[in-house]
Chains A and B, each alone.
Chain A
Amino acid sequence: MTGNIPFLVVGVVFFLGLYAVLFERNMIKMAIGITLVEASANLLLIVLGYRFDGSIPVFTLAGEVKQMVLPTPQALTLTAIVIGLATSALLLSLIMMLYRHYGTLDVREIRRLRG
């Protein structure tokens, strides 16, 4: 049972992030929500690769230990983190520029493109 708690956390964080993206009016809070969604995806990958009692997956430990955690999801997560950093930086820069142009952070007022 306790092994499933991380998955529960993934779900909770995912839906919290989604809630922020869906219902927050402030763009910075939406950006935070997107970061939360990213964090939940990364956490999911890490949790999937975890093996109980596993040791670190290092080449030189081969044969020494019985079980290692899976290295692939960790590599995947690192890549996803890098991508997440790029998107967050760009998103925040866009919000800065939007604030300069529109003078507001309220997403409901930034709607010149519609219809």
Chain B
Amino acid sequence: MWSKVYTGFGFWDVYTWIIFFALAAGLVLWLRSMGRSDYKKGTEQDEIFYGSNEVPEDGEDIQVPASSAYWGFVEALQPYYEKLLQIHTGIANDYVGYLVVTTGILAVLVLI
């Protein structure tokens, strides 16, 4: 039960990892404890730094929307994504069409 999983090429041992994570967590907590706790509460020292602008009341104004995430990735692969979105038409005929075409291709491959 406590032994390793052998994959035939290497092995996997979860407990080594858990020990590693425990050590890493200890290190992080130790580093955190080294921080100073004597800052002045209630002054501008514990305020959010927002590019020296006013921090908006509602968080909605400062959040990056999900559609902006990985903008560069999507932009770089624009031709690929255009093709991919062309395939996903959302028309029920096409759904069945892909099923039939795949069946046809596999049938040809198997029967030859």
Please list the residues of chain A having a beta carbon within 8 angstroms of any beta carbon in chain B.
Answer: 18, 21-25, 27, 30, 107-108, 110-115
Size category, B interface:
10 to 19
- B85 at the binding interface (Cβ < 8 Å): yes
- CB atoms of B100 and A107 under 8 A apart: no
Whether the pair B90, A22 counts as a contact (CB closer than 8 A) is: no
Which B74-95 residues have C-beta < 8 A from chain A? Answer: 85, 88-93
The residue from A22, A24, A110, A113 contacting B100, defined by CB atoms under 8 A apart: A22
Residue in A18, A107, A112, A115 whose beta carbon sits within 8 Å of that of B92 in the complex: A107
Partner of B88, one of A18, A112, A114: A114
Excluding A108-B93, A114-B90, 19 further A-B contacts by CB distance (< 8 Å) are A18-B96, A21-B96, A22-B93, A22-B96, A22-B100, A23-B93, A24-B93, A25-B93, A30-B93, A107-B91, A107-B93, A110-B92, A111-B89, A111-B90, A111-B91, A114-B89, A115-B85, A115-B88, A115-B90
Q: Are A30 and B92 in contact (CB under 8 A)?
A: yes
